[in-house]
Each structure stands twice: as C-alpha cells, then as structure tokens.
A and B are shown apart, each in its own frame.
Chain A
C-alpha cells in the first residue's frame, strides 16, 4: 500500500467514508451534501466547493489529426477534502489529483499528478476561471461577459506525450438530473452534475514521433458531491456521445447488487431530458484482454422508447489508465441506429 493509493482511495471510493444523511445538508463529518432544488449559480459553481468531499473537472475530446487518424484526449482534475474547509499553507485539508490521457489507434498514454491545496501548487478558482495542478491547466479564454466555460484552453504533459487544446462552445451549459441534482443510486445518493457538451476543438498533440495538429469535439463534465456511490456499487460504465445529427447522449450504469442507470438526452439546442433509472440499457458485446483483465470494450446501448440502438467500438481497446488508480478511458466510435463519436469510461474491472 502506497500513500498515493490511499489518497486515490479517498478520492475515488468515498462510499466507504460517506454515509450520507440526505436532506440534512451535512453528513456526520460536517461535509455538505447535495440538496434537491438548490439551483446552480454561475460563475460561482464553476469554481471549487471545498465543503464537499469530492469534485472534478473532467474534459474528454474526440479528435481527428491532420494525418487522418483518430485520437482521444482526457484532462481531469480531482479534488478531495479531508475536512470540509480550505486553510492556507500545508495545513490545507484539500488534496488534488490530476489525470491526463492521450489515445492513438496504436498507443495509449497516461500521467498523474498529486498536490495539496493551500500552497498554490494546485487549485481552481471561479473568476477568472482557471483550474490547475503543476503545469497542467484548464483556463477560460472567454471574453468578458460570456460564460467562463464558453471558451477554454487545456494543456498537460506526461513523460512521453503532451497536448495543448483550445475549446469553443457551440451551445449552452446542460444540467443533468433534476436541474443539476443527479441521483446516483436507488437509495438516493446524489451529486451536483452539469456539462458543457458542445465544444469544437483545435490544437496540437505532442507524440513521441512529433507534433500532430488536430480538430474535433469535446465534452466537459463538472460534478461534486459528498456521497456519490452506494456501498454495494462496484464500478461504472459511463458514456458521452455526440451524434452526427447534433444530438448528445450522456448515459451511465452503476454496477452493484442492482444496476442503476441514468442518462441525459440533449437536443442540438441544448434542451435536456433526464432519463430515469431503467430507461437506458447497456449490454457488453465483447471483451479485450487489457492490463491482465477482461474489459468489455464493445457495447450496445438501447433506449427503446426513442428507438435508439447504438453499438460502440473503441478507437484503441488498450486505453488503460495505468495510474495509481487504474481504469479504462478512451475514445469510441458509434454505429447502429445513429452514427457518432464519444468517450467511454469504465471503472471497477
């Protein structure tokens, strides 16, 4: 056991810690818990919420290179709090973790960073918006008066790779669940969850063989909570899909004693429809041997009510994030009733 595994465990498996008391506003350790009906406010909620246990800024991009090949990029900053407050200096109870991934059809790169809050090495602020850890950053380039997330720049580097991407939003922010209150289990665990799914992207990837100019589409997820998973939930399969007709689909299943599904159907204008538990169904169609385990990298997603029947294929089945906390995350192509591209994250395999 390594310290960083401990940290990562704190960050990504809070179920063991957080016995929520939904509706009371705080849990046993004094952390705030999400409440239904509390409206999200911007730009405030673009910034950090140190009184919640965990939070992330999660950007995934499906990209096409000048060389005609498909690529995928991931930029994530996780925040985890040991206490529901922020303090200056080394006393800060806020711990930050960054993950960066870059997928090519033949290879997959990943890197991670750790930092404590309070000293300036990592953090996030709402106005002007920036989130950073070391030299990795996500910074707003939006003009005054516009939503901070309407234009972003992200950059990250690892031992063998790097990227610098600029995002321009072509639509509004989208709130998941009940106006941003997203239920995560039948027992009522929930988080605040909203997205900016309408980015177009351009930028440069640094690969071992040299830089590649890319364009494509990107999706930003913002989520924070103090108790997002039920204790029996062992992992999740999460999809963000951009269809060729301009619709977007966010859908996930939380695997546990009873599988819990949820999703959001987003029109090209940004109107969102929350899909309740059971509306979507996810069926593995084939596994790949990845990092010594069998991972279901091909899926079928059905939404019978809308006649939606999608099949997904990974750009690279070996998109394993081989980090302190490891999981599968990579770009996918979508066929079936609709065509499209997207990103898939699978944990707990």
Chain B
C-alpha cells in the first residue's frame, strides 16, 4: 500500500525512473564487464602455466639450447627426476602454432591434467590436444588435435615422439622439467631456471588489469552520480507524499522500509540488466583484450568469454552497494524528517560557504597525499593511488574553481541580463557540481589517457623506424637451413645479420641474451637512451653488453654498472636501448663472444640488408626454394607492430568513450532534475519581459559556458594524469619511460565533444521550457511562490 503509493511517483516520472535504472545498469555493466575481462585473462595465465609446469616446476636448460635425449635417460638413470619437453613452431593449415611435446609418463601432474579423461593410447600414438579456438584457426589438417580447454590458445599439445618427428628433432629435446629435488652438484652444461609461471605472467600483466579495473571503478563512480541525482530528486519531489503518508498514520519505520525496498527493487532490476549488458560488453571487448595481451605480453588468452556464477553474484552485490550508496542519503534524511515538515521543495545539497570550504580542505589534503605518493611511493599500486588522489583532489576543486571563474565573469558583466546570467549560473553551481565533477573526471581521463597513448604512439613509430632498418627478415626452418641461407645470401646482398638468442636469467629476471654482429646497420640506427662513450667499439671489443630499458629500470642498472650473464660472469653495461612491447629483460653481446659463450646456438632469424628487396625475395623463393611464409619484409613487420600497438589501446579508447557517455548522461539527469525546480527562478524574469525562447537560449548558453570552463580545468588535470601515466605507471608496469608530447588538436576535438555532450544534455530541458511557453511559469505564481 505504502509501497504502491511511492511507486506511483515513478509512473508519473518515467524519465527519472529511466535515469535511476540506466545509471545503475551502466555502472554495474561497466564494472562487471571489466571484472569478467580480468577474470578470463587471469584464468588463461593459470592454464598456460599449469600446462608447462605445475607449481612452477623448475627447468633444466642446456647452454646450447637443445640437448640430446640421451641426457634425459642418463639423468633419470642417475635418480634425477626430470621430464623431457620438445617445443617448436610449426605451420598447421596456414597458422603458426607452438608444438609442445611432452612425455605424459614423467610429466608433472599439471601437464597431465591437460589430458584429463583423455585417451592415453591415442595420445601416445600421435593424437594431440588444442584449445577449440586454435582448432578453429588452423582448420582441418593431417594432425587433427582433440579440443581441450586446458591447452593455451596457440599451442598444440602432443606426445614427445610426435613433436620430435614434426620438428625434425629426433633424438633431441628442448629442455627438461625438474619434478623432484634438484641434483647436486648441477650436471655439466645444464642450467637450473624457474620457468614461465602463471604468477610471472600475471605479474607482467598486472598493470594492464589494474588499468582496466581503474577504468571500471571510474565508470562505476560516474554511474553512481546519475543514480544519486535521480534518487535525490525523487526524494525532494515526494516530500509532499511523505508528509501525506505520515499524516495518514504510516510509521516512519515502515515508510523508510518501503523506500529501502523500492531501492532494492531498482538494484535488482538494474543489477540483472547490468550483468547482461556487462557480459555482452566483455564478450565484445574480449577479442581486443586478448589480442592486446598476446601482443604485449605473449599471454595466451582465448577470445571467447566463459560465464561464472561468482562473477554474476559479485556484480549484483556491486549493484546493491551502488544503490545503497546513491540512495543512502535520501533514506537518512527521511529518517530525520519531522512529521509535518513543510512540503516545500528546497534545493537539495544546497551549497553553503562552509560545504565549499570543506571541499577545498579535502582537495588540499588529497593533493598533499598525491604529492607525497609521487615523492615517496613506489610500485604500481602507489602509482594508481597517486592518480586516484590527484583526480579526486581535482574533482573536489571543480566547484570552487568554476565558482571563481563565474564570479570573475560576473564582475566584468555590465548588462543586467548578463549579470543575472552569471549570478544565476553561480547560484546553480552547487546543484550541478556533482555532474560537473563527473564531466571533469571523464574529460581529464580522456586527455590524460589520450595524451599518453599519442605520446607512446609517436615514440613507438620513431623507434620502429630506427629498429626495423633491415629490408627483410627470414625465419629459417632449422639450424641447417639457417647456415645454408647465410651461404646462399652472402654474395647476393649487402649484409646478412643473424639473430641468435639463449634464454637467461638477468639480475634475477627472466630474459634472454642476444648476439649482435658488428655492423653499420646497428651502429648507425640502433636507438640508445643511455651509453658510455665509444659504446659500439666497446661492444665489438667484447668489453661489455647492451641491456634493454626494462632491465635497466627494474634492476636500476645503468652504463657503468655491470650485469651477470650466464657463463660470462659480471659484464660491464655499455648502453641501454629502448625496447617497447617486450616484457622481458634482454642483454646484447657481440656475435663472436656470444658464440664462444653459448656454442651451437641455432640462428632463429636472419635480417637482410639489400638494395633490391624484390630481387632478393625472388631469388630466395625461386632459387633457394624458401617458402614465402618464412620471409617478412620491412613494411610487413612495421604494419604488424603498429597493428599490435593499435589493438593494445583500442580497449582504452572504447572505455574512454564509455566514461564520457556516462558523464554526459549524469549531466542530462541533473539538468532534467533541475529544470523543474528552476521554473521558480525563471518565472520572475519571464514576468519582467524575457521571452521563453530567450530564456531557453540562456539555458543552453549556460551549459556551454560550464562545459568550456570544465574543459579548461580538465586540461591541466589531464596533462598531470598523462605525466603520471608516462613517468610512473608505465615505468612500473612496462619498464619504459616515454617523453610527454602535446597534441592540442586532440584537445580541440575533445572540447567539441564536451560541448556537444553538454548541449545534448541541456537540449531537452531547454526545449521543454520553450515548448511549455508561459503556462508553467505562470503557474509558479499561481502556486503562491
């Protein structure tokens, strides 16, 4: 009875109802969508790690990359519990996949789990397993693996014998997994290393997930602004109803309960809708997220989403929490309302000078916290805390700063209508402040993230041009073909630059050591961000190594320091090179030294310098008989790298648009709310002779002015955000620091969007004012106000 009386309000105010539901739905959708993406990716890391080794079983590697199978038997016969692994890349259908060969009888239990309920006999006689997505990509082939969710995307799991045959590695194995205690002493020529584990991959990708979570939280907060303003308005508008109900004998308790039930009903409806929307959003974004994670970290994430009940429950809980947060204030005020409180709408959350001082104090404290975090904090979490503190401080400052701007404008104004315009804008600022804060946050996030991405992009393209100077790159099938190719190409091209690498632990981090031939290609082009004088001569003279920026920043190693390379002891660092898009540590030594340290390491790739790429390509295809797939030309490589880069930030762009849309919606909700209340303030002006049309125009103009001022405030905040992202978050997350570059054209575009969003938000209330004509304004006087 009480409830239906309360609900009848919504029947009459459908737009308001829509605001509450849409706000809560969007907030839930964005939050739970992001959670679903994160959960899916993290699950995939665990799968990948479990397949290779359970609980991070350590790995035994040969210094030369491969080892004879006899080594495995020899170790087992000596009581060392190891399991052999053969790993390599093969082309199935048209797709390159990793062929992972294991011995199920000695493999760690985690690997065996991939074969759960499997057909051992079939597996031993050549049947493999692959993720359904991999199967889809490779289509029908001779080797038709069975589907298994336990195998990472892009990998085909087969018996070791099958893998040896397919990879031409009969009698050879790639490495050993240690399933028992480590042998003491370590057998000659073997190195113990911790392999890729889920934790490691999760550590590398943490930044990405934290980034997504931050976006989700931001969107959730902005969504709550909408709900808060709509619920608050509904409360104000129903004061009369509350009074009537109370007068009729409804107890305060049951009235409050009824309102709470109403709120819970909204939370349930919006929560379910939000979950559905969040799922759809996550499913739509997942392919991009998966591509990003694959490109950036080599993390095998499947592109299809799985539904989890835990996720759904958490999303619903967030919807309830959000509804409680947004509606709590209204309930509290109802509880404290005298029975016969005048049923007079008063501007809710009317500003007083005191409230503003509190906001400024809060902003000051948060700003101080941000500065402290910037100075003394370390780690990714501190970086994000710094961001949050700085953004909140800026949000709290929105109102004082806008008030100041409007006050200055009012002083300058001479015409009475103009004076009223500024004064009235200031008067309305408190009511609009929440929505304007949301807009400010969304704009700042857009500017910040946009500047970061654009800066990154500019630096990245520059760097690609420097790094990818070779006209083409060839991936040989095996070591023998690499040698043959080098002999074949030597007389035909200007230079053949072989790429050799061994996996290594550098300063405690997983990584690799690379060989570099002393050649002008590198001396003239290879970018360095720090170096000792005569770095290239020093490198050629085997005086030291180059390391990548990731290693340098994480381990704080710079030219003049030294780093331990396997087999070489401490080696002087001659230079540091930027290495975007690679999560692992790297060191480079000159080719001759590399070959003496790690003899027999096969050549993985050959970079070719040639004046006539077309002729070289033709010679390779026709005379040498190389398959076209083995050749990558420079343009292809650049296009591929750029494509990976673009996809990496596609998700960022999508979330940017979403937060801006939510902010616009918050503004719309607030303006619709205000438009009814503002009739009281507009009626006297109308009575004094201003036309409704003029008044509506002034309303639109005010919206534009406020949007403009907010944009102006968002600009420095956004740049600060970008600076923190580039100098703190990126360094922590990826291990590289990028210069901040300024892109004013992007800001102009964003300002245009903000103006449009503001216009769109105020258009309907203005239109309603205009279409309503004098009637509603006249009624204001009729209602004795």
Are the C-beta atoms of A116 and B79 separated by less than 8 Å? no
Q: Which of A2, A6, A121 contacts B77 (CB 8 A)?
A: A121
Chain B residues lying within 8 Å of A119, measured Cβ to Cβ, are 69, 73
CB-CB contacts below 8 Å: A265-317 with B? none
Q: Which of A93, A120, A134 contacts B124 (CB 8 A)?
A: A93
A4 in the interface (beta carbon within 8 A): yes
CA distance in complex: A90, B159 (Å): 9
A332 in the interface (beta carbon within 8 A): no
B186 in the interface (beta carbon within 8 A): no
CB-CB contacts below 8 Å: A136-163 with B? 157, 159
Chain B: CB-nearest residue to A135: B79
Q: Which of B76, B109, B161 contacts A134 (CB 8 A)?
A: B76
B233 in the interface (beta carbon within 8 A): no
CB distance from B357 to the nearest CB of A (A): 67
A82 in the interface (beta carbon within 8 A): yes
CA distance in complex: A7, B159 (Å): 15
Are the C-beta atoms of A157 and B79 separated by less than 8 Å? yes
Chain B residues lying within 8 Å of A159, measured Cβ to Cβ, are 180
CB-CB contacts below 8 Å: B169-217 with A? 170, 180
Are the C-beta atoms of B77 and A135 separated by less than 8 Å? yes
Q: What are the interface flags for B95-118 relative to A under an 8 Å C-beta threshold, 1 for contact and 0 otherwise?
A: 000000001111101001101111
CA distance in complex: A1, B81 (Å): 22
CA distance in complex: A125, B170 (Å): 25
Q: What are the interface flags for B75-96 relative to A under an 8 Å C-beta threshold, 1 for contact and 0 otherwise?
A: 0111101000000000000000
CA distance in complex: A134, B76 (Å): 5
Chain B: CB-nearest residue to A7: B120
Chain A residues lying within 8 Å of B103, measured Cβ to Cβ, are 90, 116
Q: Which of B76, B112, B124, B170 contacts A2 (CB 8 A)?
A: B112
CA distance in complex: A98, B105 (Å): 12
CB distance from A125 to the nearest CB of B (A): 15
CB distance from B78 to the nearest CB of A (A): 6
A3 in the interface (beta carbon within 8 A): yes
A interface residue count range (under 10 / 10 to 19 / 20 to 34 / 35 or more): 20 to 34
Q: What are the interface flags for A32-47 relative to B under an 8 Å C-beta threshold, 1 for contact and 0 otherwise?
A: 0000000000000000
Q: What are the interface flags for A44-87 relative to B under an 8 Å C-beta threshold, 1 for contact and 0 otherwise?
A: 00000000000000000000000000000000000000100000
Chain A residues lying within 8 Å of B113, measured Cβ to Cβ, are 2
CA distance in complex: A95, B99 (Å): 24
CA distance in complex: A90, B166 (Å): 13
A25 in the interface (beta carbon within 8 A): no
A89 in the interface (beta carbon within 8 A): yes
Are the C-beta atoms of A114 and B106 separated by less than 8 Å? yes
Q: Which of B73, B109, B116, B180 contacts A121 (CB 8 A)?
A: B73
| Residue from A10, A90, A121, A157 whose CB has the most chain B CB atoms within 10 Å | A90
CB distance from B709 to the nearest CB of A (A): 66
CA distance in complex: A89, B69 (Å): 10
Chain A: CB-nearest residue to B111: A3
CB distance from B85 to the nearest CB of A (A): 13
Chain A: CB-nearest residue to B114: A3
A115 in the interface (beta carbon within 8 A): yes
Q: Which of A7, A89, A120 contacts B161 (CB 8 A)?
A: A89
CB distance from A210 to the nearest CB of B (A): 19
Chain B: CB-nearest residue to A2: B112
A232 in the interface (beta carbon within 8 A): no
Are the C-beta atoms of B112 and A3 separated by less than 8 Å? yes
Q: What are the interface flags for B428-464 relative to A under an 8 Å C-beta threshold, 1 for contact and 0 otherwise?
A: 0000000000000000000000000000000000000
Chain B residues lying within 8 Å of A6, measured Cβ to Cβ, are 118, 120
A91 in the interface (beta carbon within 8 A): yes
Q: What are the interface flags for A210-245 relative to B under an 8 Å C-beta threshold, 1 for contact and 0 otherwise?
A: 000000000000000000000000000000000000
Are the C-beta atoms of A90 and B164 separated by less than 8 Å? yes
| Residue from A1, A91, A134 whose CB has the most chain B CB atoms within 10 Å | A134
CB distance from B112 to the nearest CB of A (A): 4
B587 in the interface (beta carbon within 8 A): no
| Residue from B104, B107, B170 whose CB has the most chain A CB atoms within 10 Å | B104
Are the C-beta atoms of B112 and A4 separated by less than 8 Å? yes
Chain B residues lying within 8 Å of A135, measured Cβ to Cβ, are 76-79
Q: What are the interface flags for B150-162 relative to A under an 8 Å C-beta threshold, 1 for contact and 0 otherwise?
A: 0000000001111
Q: What are the interface flags for B119-130 relative to A under an 8 Å C-beta threshold, 1 for contact and 0 otherwise?
A: 011001000000
Are the C-beta atoms of B161 and A91 separated by less than 8 Å? yes
CB-CB contacts below 8 Å: A76-127 with B? 82, 89-91, 93, 95, 114-116, 119-121
CA distance in complex: A6, B121 (Å): 10
Chain B: CB-nearest residue to A96: B105
CA distance in complex: A114, B103 (Å): 10
CA distance in complex: A90, B161 (Å): 5
Chain B: CB-nearest residue to A115: B105
Chain B residues lying within 8 Å of A90, measured Cβ to Cβ, are 103, 124, 159-162, 164
Chain B: CB-nearest residue to A93: B124
Query: Given A90-B159, A90-B161, A90-B164, is A3 in contact with B77 using a C-beta cutoff of 8 Å?
Result: no
Are the C-beta atoms of A3 and B118 separated by less than 8 Å? yes
Chain A: CB-nearest residue to B165: A90
CB-CB contacts below 8 Å: B324-350 with A? none
Chain B residues lying within 8 Å of A132, measured Cβ to Cβ, are 77
- Residue pairs across A and B with Cβ atoms less than 8 A apart, 6 shown, are A2-B112, A90-B124, A120-B77, A121-B73, A121-B106, A134-B81
Question: Which 4 pairs from chain A and chain B are nearest by CB?
Answer: A90-B161, A135-B79, A114-B105, A3-B112
Apart from the given pairs A90-B161, A134-B76, 6 other A-B contacts in the complex at a CB distance below 8 Å: A7-B120, A82-B121, A114-B106, A115-B76, A121-B106, A135-B78
